[in-house]
């Protein structure tokens, strides 16, 4: 097993976090599973991994959502798995986020935004089709510096995802990711993996693998199911193989940890 030059002072660790170990917020309109401390869920031993502070797995009922609220000094990436989510913010950006649309909001010096499931789909043949809950993962990473100008970016990468493998979604490392983030030590990859498809995870000091849909097997760790996550420290890029029904995965590649 080789070791990334960035991780020579780190002891290799494979930390499995099962779906049912996550914090859970259940409201009349929201079912949210938190991988890290969030809101009133506090565990000082579980506040972040690398520079990833939030990995929320959310189901939002139709005609509901997150009303306008503030953020500051955070890079926020939202990844929709099923349904559509309407975004509006105080910089004037608005739109509908759907599966395969990479979306990032830089909170910077301060931003207000809302995220709503409007409950009805776009017109189809002159009628509106009722929409069910929207399912999405929202991830927050620390920015490389505070006080940046608030911003927004999005790009449809469905064609790239359909090609298989891990696809760069968001990055601050100056590579060919779909959208930039203001964090030079982090990159997000996504994969819609076919049954039995295998991918090699990044060789980085900190790697966070989240199985958003489906299941699979990670070398040296074993089976993983929907909602499971692996926190890899200096683990030298093991291979993940999707299960019989395939898998959709989100992978953060990170080169430092939050203080």
Decide: 93 and 168 in contact? Cβ < 8 Å.
no
pTM of the model: 0.93
- Comparing CA positions, the residue from 137, 91, 132 lying closest to residue 113 is 91
Helix, coil or strand: residue 158: helix
Name beta bridge partners: 249. Answer: 191, 211
> What integer pLDDT is reported at residue 175 of this predicted model?
87
- Comparing CA positions, the residue from 107, 30, 118, 20 lying closest to residue 70 is 107
CATH 1.20.1260.10 fits 5-254, yes or no: no
> What integer pLDDT is reported at residue 125 of this predicted model?
46
Please determine, for residue 251, whether its predicted confidence score (pLDDT) is greater than 60: yes
Question: What is the Cα–Cα distance from 236 to 134, expressed in whole angstroms?
Answer: 35
Helix, coil or strand: residue 7: helix
Please determine, for residue 135, whether its predicted confidence score (pLDDT) is greater than 80: yes
Q: How far is CA 256 from the centre of its chain?
A: 18
Which stretch, 88-97, 118-127, 130-139, 224-233, has highest mean pLDDT?
A: 224-233
Percent of the chain with pLDDT over 90: 87
Q: Residues 169-191: what's their mean pLDDT?
A: 95
Question: What is the Cα–Cα distance from 108 to 20, expressed in whole angstroms?
Answer: 33
Provide CB contacts within 8 A for 144, sequence distance 6+.
172, 182, 183, 184, 185
- Looking only at the bridges linking them, the beta strands covering 167-171 and 186-193 are antiparallel
Helices (H), the chain: 158-162
Query: Which residue has tokens 């449809």?
Result: 156
Q: Residue 128's pLDDT band (boundaries 50, 70, 90)?
A: low
> What integer pLDDT is reported at residue 6 of this predicted model?
58
Question: What is the Cα–Cα distance from 11 to 68, expressed in whole angstroms?
Answer: 42
- What are the structural domain ranges in the chain? 5-254
Q: What is the mean pLDDT of the chain?
A: 93
């Amino acid at each position: 097993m080789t070791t990334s030059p960035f991780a020579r002072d780190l002891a290799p660790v494979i930390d499995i976090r099962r779906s049912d170990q996550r914090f859970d917020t259940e409201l009349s309109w929201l079912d949210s599973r938190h991988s890290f401390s969030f809101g009133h869920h506090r565990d000082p031993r579980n506040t972040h991994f690398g520079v990833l502070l939030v990995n929320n797995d959310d189901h939002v009922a139709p005609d509901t959502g997150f009303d306008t609220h503030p953020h500051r000094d955070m890079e926020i990436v939202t990844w929709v798995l099923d349904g559509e989510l309407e975004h509006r913010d105080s910089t004037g950006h608005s739109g509908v986020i759907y599966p395969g649309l990479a979306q990032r909001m830089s909170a910077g010096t301060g931003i207000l935004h809302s995220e709503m499931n409007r409950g009805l789909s776009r017109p189809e043949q002159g009628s509106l089709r009722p929409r069910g809950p929207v399912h999405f993962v929202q991830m927050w990473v620390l920015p490389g510096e505070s006080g940046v100008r608030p911003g927004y970016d999005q790009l449809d990468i469905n064609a790239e995802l359909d090609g298989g493998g891990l696809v760069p979604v968001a990055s601050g490392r100056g590579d060919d990711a779909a959208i930039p983030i203001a964090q030079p030590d982090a990159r997000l990859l996504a994969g819609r993996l076919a049954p039995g498809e295998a991918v090699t995870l990044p060789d980085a000091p900190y790697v966070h693998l989240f199985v958003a849909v489906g299941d699979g097997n990670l070398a040296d760790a074993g089976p993983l199911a929907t909602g499971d996550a692996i926190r890899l420290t200096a683990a030298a890029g093991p291979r993940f193989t999707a299960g019989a029904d395939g898998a959709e995965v989100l992978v953060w590649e990170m080169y430092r940890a939050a203080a």
